[in-house]
Structure 1
Amino acid sequence: MALSVENLKINFKTLEEFKSFKEYGLEELSMLEEFQINMVEDNASSPFYGIYYGDRLAARMCLYVKKDTDRLLPTDSGEYIEIWKLEVLPHYQHKGFGLKLVEFAKTFNLPILTKPRVKSHTFWEKMEFNPLSETSSRLLWTPPATHKKIS
């Protein structure tokens, strides 16, 4: 079965699907509160993306496009993407779902920041993410065309 990333609709069906994720993992990964806020605000564009396996939501993440107002990133771009709360249900882990979500985020061709969770550093290293700085817990991926040369 081919995996494809979909922009998740902000509706009650998706809210119910998100509840199955809350059963697994950390409370901070639940996304339910963020999702409910977006429902209340009637947000037309959803920051939520996911992969269905059959009729079941198997993996999801939030993607936020942000402005680099503090110029923290080692790129010339004025924007970046933050991957927030990437999560794959246990039954679907190690089957390429997380990889597919990150590859999708990379298609925006913007630098990507994330804060790795629960023993996921190896995954992010395989995806070519590096520490933002020596002291930062956040990881950064930069598209090849935006890398600055270090002098």
Structure 2
Amino acid sequence: MAIYLALYKGKAKNRFERLQDSIIRFFTKGEYSHCELVVERQEQWGQYDYRPVYDCYSSSPRDGGVRCKRINVADRTKWDLIPLDNITEPQINAYFDRTSGAKYDWWGVLGIVFGIKQKRSKYFCSEWCFNAIKGSEEGWRFSPNQLAVIYQPSRT
């Protein structure tokens, strides 16, 4: 089992979703419009056939807020994956259990750029991911592009 920060750089099929992604990328000055915490596990598909599946945790505007769902993040044209060694699946599940179903925080997304006060009962993707990783409530300060920089493996 491996855990990743997955960063979305793809192009949505829906025109409205592409517009949302473009706006987020423009205002956060980067290539990513969304992020997920991913738990990769091997699932048996046949007697000797195991394939990776990806349980993805985040707050998504497309899904209305905090949720967990299976997403194929293996497509490297759409997703970049950063391995995370500093978080466990029980930590992710504990934070998910506390926040599951909370609404998506559009004002918080705008707050990164314009300094608008965020709503503590709602979450945007990078806020949710940072809070789960760090066990804090300071994630409202970060965009997906900033998390990419923070968690990028060092190149020494």
Larger RCO: 1 or 2 (CA < 8 Å, sep 6+): 2
Do the structures match in fold with TM over 0.5?
no
Give the TM-score taking structure 1 as reference length. 0.29
Give the TM-score taking structure 2 as reference length. 0.28
